[in-house]
Amino acid sequence: MSRFAAPIAEQIWDMKYRFKEADGSPIDLTVEDTWRRIARDLARVEKDPDHWEERFYAALEDFKYLPAGRITAGAGTARAVTLFNCFVMGTIPDSMGGIFEMLREAALTMQQGGGIGYDFSTIRPRGANVTGVAADASGPLSFMDVWDAMCRTIMSAGSRRGAMMATMRCDHPDIEDFVTAKGDAARLRMFNLSVLVTDAFLEAVKADGPWELVFDDKVYHTVQARDLWNRIMKSTYDFAEPGVIFIDRINQANNLSYCETIAATNPCGEQPLPPYGACLLGSINLARLVDRPFEEGATIDDAALEDLVATAVRMMDNVVDASKFPLPEQEAEARNKRRIGLGVTGLADALLMMGLRYGSDEAAAQTEDWLHRVARAAYLASVELAREKGAFPLFEAGPFLASGTMQQMDDDVRDAIREHGIRNALLTSIAPTGTISLYAGNVSSGIEPVFAYAYTRKVLQKDGSRTEEEVVDYAVQLWRDMFGEAELPEYFVNAQTLQPSEHVKMQAAAQKWVDSSISKTINCPEDISFEAFKDVYMQAWETGCKGCTTYRPNEVTGSVLSVSETTDHAPGEAPVEDGIAPGGDVIYMSEPLDRPQTLEGQTYKLKWPDSEHAIYITINDIVIGGHRRPFEVFINSKNMEHFAWTVALTRMISAVFRRGGDVSFVVEELKAVFDPRGGAWMQGKYIPSILAAIGGVIERHMIAIGFIEGEGKGLKSDPTAEVVNLGAPRGPACPSCGQYDMRMVEGCMTCASCGHSKCG
């Protein structure tokens, strides 16, 4: 019998986590081989590796403990990849040489599979004087463009592009430009953005007082705090970014406040880290631990949970010693503090099995209780590790126990730490678990509510055909197995039917016992008023959250899988109207379009800086169904060094255009090309290569003829498209598998079909 609870789980394992030869032939023949590979690798640092290998295997078995994707994919493979998920890079010096040294370090980190965070508050604002060169500074956003271009070219661990988080303090003089940067859909697409919001700023907002924007003790501007807050909120309301990080609370609560200051987080925000900080992640699968699900007296056994947590802590502590690191500074930071981020997944499913409605006071209380039990077990396990192997090198009992988080910890745990020390400086975090949750049988992700109880997924077969399969939430499938097609009880709610305040309530309940932070999305209805939207953030601050990320579907952010309120289908299942779902797949033509005798077109002159000869780009269009679409491209230059690749581009792009369908991806592929010799500044923007500049010309042409809506956006309409029955409304298309199953989960757009996520 297969260990996988659903076909999608096995497919995710095969695609993401199965160890294979370079030619694709499998080394892990079964998922048991994967568990054995991980257990053996993480046990090799033990004095009794055989004993601990069996303990570790038992924890992994049946998906009870889920190490994060980089550990699951990389442990025991001998590949030169880091097993750490999260990095915050070094403090960016306010100098040209220092800035580009940081860029080099970022590239090395992402190349090994690490997502990174940066605080750009340390770069002087736009227009500030640059001593010695008689020039004005270009500001932090100009350098963020350079980072963005670099990130487009780095494939993390061979399969995913790097993800980045950029933060900026709420008192930086360029903060207004920072918070509105995502209004340009083509800019900073590889970044998540978050504002570091201080308590003083929020108090000024509440008092409608003035707020000074300062750099190096110089006041550049004074604004009304409430006006700046409204601008932050309006950008988030419209574009789902920036997020908000309550930075004072993070530093006050930090166990290590005596030896570090935090100013940035990893890409999804659950790991606030100091310069060169690194953290690894893993999750306890609560959905697999419930005894007597859907019965009277359903519960999670204390002893079983504590034993599993203790084993998971030991495994994660061993990762610190087993992992490679992109930079020596990251290795030193990790080993001096031995941070780990143990969290949970399947929380919403576990609540359902207990008969509790996600978002209710009872569910919040149960969540707080479970997270308290996890925290206690994790800290006590780390104390035992300290007795056996020694405390983390920078441990100081007095300052450690005086931190905000430790002051609320149980007295027996505090006493144990005071007497024996502790192995890991921080232990708990709620990380994004979208992909590993699919791998574990489609359990609910992290502490998020269930997004959709069932949806139809199209699977591409080897012969090119597509088959459909139903993807069912783990708890719903268990309900079906126990009670057949009996109607789901009323306490089965999902992300779209909850009030934003209920989301915040659950995040705050979990945060109380999480020493790092939480990756969670507060889903807001499209018609939420702006004032009510702002109240969500104030509620998050006032109830003890360390940050807040919202998602309000609209024309800019895109729609998500919707939930019908009719009774024609189960809660969370998507409706079908008149036999056809809203939206549909693009059916691409197998034969190219015939070329008419004459075509209308436009020729563009592209002058690359420092190049002797211009490049001329001619784009001809065809009219189908009254709409113009690009049909062919001719690229010419007198520079003979360009001859081969311009001919190749002409032939390849034209061949793609003549096949029809959505060909706007050509633009994005060209714009992502990074020239290691350096790009150029053109019309106020950093262009990473001459090929990217050509992509920009083609994009402007597509906009001009109405083929795409705007810079960085997709089709306005596709006259060659054909609507087919999907069984569910579509969201944005996934860049990895092409299916329309992208949705905002845990602060990041994630594909429900293949697990693809920009954030990891």
pLDDT digits (tens, 9 = 90+) for 103-160: 999 988 887 767 899 999 999 999 998 877 767 899 999 999 999 888 876 643 344 4
Q: Is residue 605 part of a domain?
A: yes
Three-class SS of 491-508:
CCCCCCCCCHHHHHHHHH
Q: Which of 684, 704, 724 is the last residue of a domain?
A: 704
The pLDDT of residue 260 is 97
Q: Which of 268, 421, 429, 283 is nearest to 345 (CA)?
A: 283
The span from the CA of 718 to the CA of 707, in Å, is 8
Q: Is residue 143 part of a domain?
A: yes
Q: Is residue 549 part of a domain?
A: no
The span from the CA of 88 to the CA of 114, in Å, is 10
242 upstream amide cis, omega within 30 of 0:
yes
Q: Is residue 660 part of a domain?
A: yes
The pLDDT of residue 660 is 72
The single residue of 170, 268, 279, 545 carrying the catalytic annotation is: 268
3-state secondary structure of 585: coil
The pLDDT of residue 102 is 95
Catalytic (active site) residue 268: yes
The pLDDT of residue 571 is 38
pLDDT tens per residue, range 421-447 = 999 999 999 998 989 999 999 999 999
CB atoms within 10 A of CB 471: 20
For residues 277 and 339, is the Cβ–Cβ distance under 8 A?
Answer: yes
3-state secondary structure of 89: coil
Catalytic (active site) residue 270: yes
Residue 78 C-beta-side C-alpha neighbours within 13 Å: 3
The span from the CA of 393 to the CA of 339, in Å, is 12
Q: Is residue 188 part of a domain?
A: yes
Q: Is residue 299 part of a domain?
A: no
Q: 409-446 burial by CB neighbour count: b if 16+ within 10 A, else e? A: beeebbebbeebbbbbbbbbbbbbbbbbbbbbbbbbbb
Residue 515 C-beta-side C-alpha neighbours within 13 Å: 28
Q: Which of 642, 701, 639 is nearest to 666 (CA)?
A: 701
Q: Is residue 692 part of a domain?
A: yes
Task: Give me 342's structure tokens.
Answer: 């143990």
Q: Is residue 152 part of a domain?
A: yes
The pLDDT of residue 110 is 82
The pLDDT of residue 584 is 32
The pLDDT of residue 113 is 65
Q: What is the domain range of residue 240? A: 96-125+137-253
The span from the CA of 269 to the CA of 195, in Å, is 11
The pLDDT of residue 562 is 38
Catalytic (active site) residue 266: yes
With residue 330 as reference, give the H or E element that holds it.
Answer: helix 328-337
The pLDDT of residue 418 is 98
The single residue of 53, 270, 331, 699 carrying the catalytic annotation is: 270
The single residue of 85, 254, 255, 266 carrying the catalytic annotation is: 266
Q: Which of 704, 722, 745 is the last residue of a domain?
A: 704
The pLDDT of residue 80 is 75
Task: Give me 430's structure tokens.
Answer: 């709620």
The span from the CA of 184 to the CA of 178, in Å, is 11
Total-model pTM: 0.80
Give every residue of the chain whose pLDDT is below 50, as ranges. 155-160, 560-590, 715-730
Q: Which of 375, 426, 413, 418 is nearest to 396 (CA)?
A: 418
Q: Which of 441, 462, 669 is nearest to 24 (CA)?
A: 462
The span from the CA of 319 to the CA of 365, in Å, is 33
Domain count, the chain: 2
Q: Which of 685, 704, 723 is the last residue of a domain?
A: 704
Q: Which of 345, 419, 429, 322 is nearest to 380 (CA)?
A: 419
Sign of CA dihedral 107, 109, 113, 114: negative
